[in-house]
């Protein structure tokens, strides 16, 4: 039966043998269509995180204004979470009732690049003899499988070996909860997801725990994904308009600038979703409302494609460039700090574009083809 997409085009529902091959670019928000504003925001979110982490390496040399500005880069992660909810609801609201296929596609999208980045980071730290990081076998294994656990390096955090990977703990958990809602009829899915997430967060607030998994899986950060889902539903129902979009983005930036600096960017507190998360939700809502008014910026859209690779691998660039800076005795005062931060952003973007084109996308297509072949092979059970 045909499905009419948000843009009015018609896409035929894939049959069983085609299902795993659908959405080869898994972050496309509708079959055959892209939401330009979301692509742009993905690029902005990734680069804001890069700029923030680069600025921490020269923090003592920055002015108070510059430090406050780069501190806003924390919000890049929250923006990613809202975007993720938007994308998942856009591609999953009318998806077939096959949660296994959905989870397999998401794992194929997320896990291979993450494993490459994590194992690469472990190898570099071992070769460099980095004494500041503790890498026990259990820590590495649990990091690879995205199991929340207390970090032996950073106290009171459940950061994996590759620190940026902490966001994937939330991503994969959200995907698992979202997959459960696919068992419901489409008209009940959003309410089921909303109820499930609210119950989990309420449980975390009512029953404090020192267990890392409990803290992660009941964190109020989950509400940022939920906000993205509701924004996607509103957009599907006609959220659009120039002045509406400008107003929403404007309020979002005001929240980001004036309220977010007051919040401690902790993964389990309410301060982050009520500031960075609220700002991200308003900016996403405003941006999609402005969708038809946005210019076609091909370079920014390509950075949006590469945003996951940029995010995963940017610490390689930051650390290597910092060592080069130190070896050349360039220093980090004045103009050199600005050059260092800009250099990290440019090089991380370049590396991300290369990895997306020659590693991430080919791997994803290969795994999707393999999964599709196994799914259509008679008598063979798929995982």
The string of pLDDT tens digits covering residues 178-204 is 999 999 999 999 999 999 999 999 999
**What's the DSSP call for residue 14?**
P
Which residue has tokens 């397999």? Answer: 104
Query: Could you tell me the sign of the dihedral formed by the alpha carbons of 234, 239, 245, 247, in that order?
Result: negative
> What's the whole-number mean pLDDT along residues 141-148?
97
- What is the C-alpha to C-alpha distance for residues 376 and 17, in angstroms, rounded to an integer? 5
Residue 224, domain extent? 27-376
- The better pLDDT of the pair 222, 260 is held by 222
Q: For all residues of the chain together, what is the average pLDDT?
A: 87
* pLDDT tens string 293-352: 999 999 999 999 999 999 999 999 999 999 898 888 776 566 888 899 999 999 999 999
Rounded to two decimals, the pTM is: 0.88
- The reported pLDDT for the residue numbered 26 is 42
* CA 150 to each of CA 81, 203, 225: distance values in angstroms, whole numbers, following the listed order: 22, 20, 23
In a domain, 17, yes or no: no
In a domain, 49, yes or no: yes
- What is the C-alpha to C-alpha distance for residues 323 and 72, in angstroms, rounded to an integer? 25
Asked if 46 and 310 touch (Cβ cutoff 8 Å), the reply is: yes
In a domain, 10, yes or no: no
Structurally, the chain folds into a number of domains equal to: 1
In a domain, 220, yes or no: yes
In a domain, 190, yes or no: yes
Which residue has tokens 């670019």? Answer: 25
- The reported pLDDT for the residue numbered 331 is 63
64 burial (CB, 10 Å; 0-12 / 13-18 / 19+) is exposed
């Amino acid at each position: 039966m045909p499905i009419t997409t948000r843009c009015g085009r018609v896409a035929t529902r894939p049959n069983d043998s085609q299902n795993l091959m659908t959405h080869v670019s898994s972050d496309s928000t509708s079959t055959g269509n892209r939401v330009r504003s979301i692509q742009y925001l993905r690029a902005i979110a990734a680069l804001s995180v890069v700029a923030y982490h680069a600025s921490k390496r020269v923090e003592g040399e920055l002015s108070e204004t510059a430090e406050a500005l780069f501190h806003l880069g924390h919000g890049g992660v929250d923006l990613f979470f809202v975007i993720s909810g938007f994308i998942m609801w856009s591609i999953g609201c009318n998806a077939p009732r096959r949660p296994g296929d959905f989870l397999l596609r998401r794992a194929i999208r997320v896990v291979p690049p993450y494993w490459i980045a994590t194992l690469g980071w472990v190898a570099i730290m071992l070769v460099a003899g980095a004494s500041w990081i503790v890498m026990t076998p259990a820590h590495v294994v649990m990091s690879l499988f995205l199991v929340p656990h207390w970090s032996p390096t950073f106290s009171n955090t459940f950061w994996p070996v590759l620190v940026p990977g902490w966001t994937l703990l939330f991503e994969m958990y959200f995907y698992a909860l979202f997959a459960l809602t696919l068992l419901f009829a489409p008209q009940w899915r959003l309410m089921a997801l909303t109820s499930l997430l609210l119950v989990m967060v309420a449980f975390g607030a009512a029953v404090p725990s020192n267990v890392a998994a409990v803290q992660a899986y009941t964190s109020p950060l989950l509400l940022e994904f939920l906000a993205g889902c509701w924004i996607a539903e509103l957009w599907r129902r006609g959220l659009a308009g120039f002045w509406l979009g400008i107003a929403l983005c404007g309020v979002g930036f005001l929240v980001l600038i004036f309220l977010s600096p007051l919040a401690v960017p902790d993964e389990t507190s309410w301060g982050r979703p009520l500031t960075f998360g609220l700002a991200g939700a308003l900016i996403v809502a405003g941006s999609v409302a402005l969708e038809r008014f946005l210019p076609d910026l091909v370079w920014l859209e390509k950075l949006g494609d590469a945003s996951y690779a940029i995010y995963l691998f940017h610490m390689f660039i930051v650390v290597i460039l910092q060592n080069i800076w130190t070896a050349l005795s360039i220093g980090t005062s004045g103009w050199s700090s600005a050059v260092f931060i800009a250099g990290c952003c440019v090089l991380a973007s370049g590396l991300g574009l290369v990895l997306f084109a020659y590693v991430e996308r080919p791997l994803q297509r290969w795994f999707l083809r393999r999964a599709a072949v196994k799914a259509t092979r008679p008598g063979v059970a798929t995982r």
